[in-house]
Chains A and B, each alone.
Chain A
Amino acid sequence: MKKMWLIGLNTFRESIRKKTLYIILIFALIVIGASKLFSFLTAEEELKMIKDVSFSAIEFFGALIAIFASLAAISTEIERRTIYTLLTKPIRRSDFVIGKFFGVSMIIFVNFILATAFFIGLLIFKKSPPNMDVFKTLLLIFFELILIGGITLALGTFTSDAFNIICSFFLYIVGHLTSYGKELVERTENIIVKGLADMLYTLVPNYENFNIRDKIVVGLNVSWGYVGYTIAYGILYMCVALFIALYFFEKREI
Chain B
Amino acid sequence: MRRKGYKYFLAIVLCFVGIHLVQIQIDYRKKLENLESALVLMPGQVAGSLILGGFKGLAADLLWLNMETYWHSGQHYKILPLLQAISWLQPSYILVWTIGGWHMAYNIYAEVKTPEEKQYWYEQGIKFLKKGLSYPFNANKYDIYFELGWTYYHKGKDYPNAVKYLEKAIKYPHPDYVDDVLAHAYEKNGQIDKAIKQWEFVRDNYVGFFDVATRMINDLKTKGKATP
The number of chain B residues touching the other chain, given as a range, is 35 or more
Judge whether A48 and B26 touch: CB under 8 Å. no
Judge whether B39 and A229 touch: CB under 8 Å. no
Given contacts A45-B95, A250-B4, contact A214 B56 (CB under 8 A): yes
Instruction: Enumerate B7-45 residues with CB–CB distance to A below 8 Å.
Output: 8-9, 11-12, 15-16, 18-20, 22-23, 25-26, 29-30, 33-37, 39
Beta-carbon nearest neighbor of A238 in chain B: B15
Q: Which B residues are in CB contact (< 8 Å) with A251?
A: 1, 5
Query: Distance in Å from the Cβ of B94 to the closest Cβ of chain A?
Result: 7
Distance in angstroms between the alpha carbons of A152 and B94 in the assembled complex: 38
Given contacts A243-B11, A247-B5, A251-B1, contact A45 B64 (CB under 8 A): yes
Q: Which A residues are in CB contact (< 8 Å) with B208?
A: none
Given contacts A223-B33, A229-B26, contact A56 B58 (CB under 8 A): yes
Judge whether B8 and A246 touch: CB under 8 Å. yes
Query: CB of B189 within 8 A of chain A?
Result: no
Beta-carbon nearest neighbor of B93 in chain A: A218
Q: Which B residues are in CB contact (< 8 Å) with A213?
A: 57
Judge whether B11 and A215 touch: CB under 8 Å. no
Specify the main secondary structure of chain B where it touches its partner.
helix
Distance in angstroms between the alpha carbons of A44 and B98 in the assembled complex: 13
Instruction: Enumerate B55-70 residues with CB–CB distance to A below 8 Å.
Output: 55-58, 60-61, 64-65, 68
Beta-carbon nearest neighbor of A216 in chain B: B57
Given contacts A217-B57, A236-B22, A246-B8, contact A179 B15 (CB under 8 A): no
Judge whether A222 and B22 touch: CB under 8 Å. no
Judge whether A218 and B61 touch: CB under 8 Å. no
Instruction: Enumerate A170-213 residues with CB–CB distance to B below 8 Å.
Output: 173, 176-177, 179-180, 183-184, 201-203, 206-209, 211-213
Q: Which B residues are in CB contact (< 8 Å) with A91?
A: none
Q: Which A residues are in CB contact (< 8 Å) with B61?
A: 48-49, 52-53
A41-55 Cβ-contact flags toward B at 8 Å (1 or 0): 100110011001101
Q: Which B residues are in CB contact (< 8 Å) with A246?
A: 8
Judge whether B22 and A226 touch: CB under 8 Å. no
Query: CB of B228 within 8 A of chain A?
Result: no
Q: Which A residues are in CB contact (< 8 Å) with B36?
A: 179
Distance in angstroms between the alpha carbons of A200 and B25 in the assembled complex: 17
Given contacts A56-B58, A214-B90, contact A180 B49 (CB under 8 A): yes
Judge whether B33 and A226 touch: CB under 8 Å. yes
Query: CB of A230 within 8 A of chain B?
Result: yes
Query: Distance in Å from the Cβ of B20 to the closest Cβ of chain A?
Result: 5
Query: CB of B207 within 8 A of chain A?
Result: no
**15 new A-B contacts at CB < 8 Å, known A220-B34, A226-B33:** A41-B68, A52-B58, A56-B57, A177-B53, A202-B20, A213-B57, A218-B92, A219-B94, A219-B141, A222-B33, A222-B35, A226-B35, A229-B22, A236-B18, A237-B19
In the A-B complex, the 10 residue pairs with the closest CB atoms = A176-B53, A176-B54, A214-B57, A247-B8, A52-B57, A226-B29, A218-B92, A240-B15, A233-B22, A202-B20
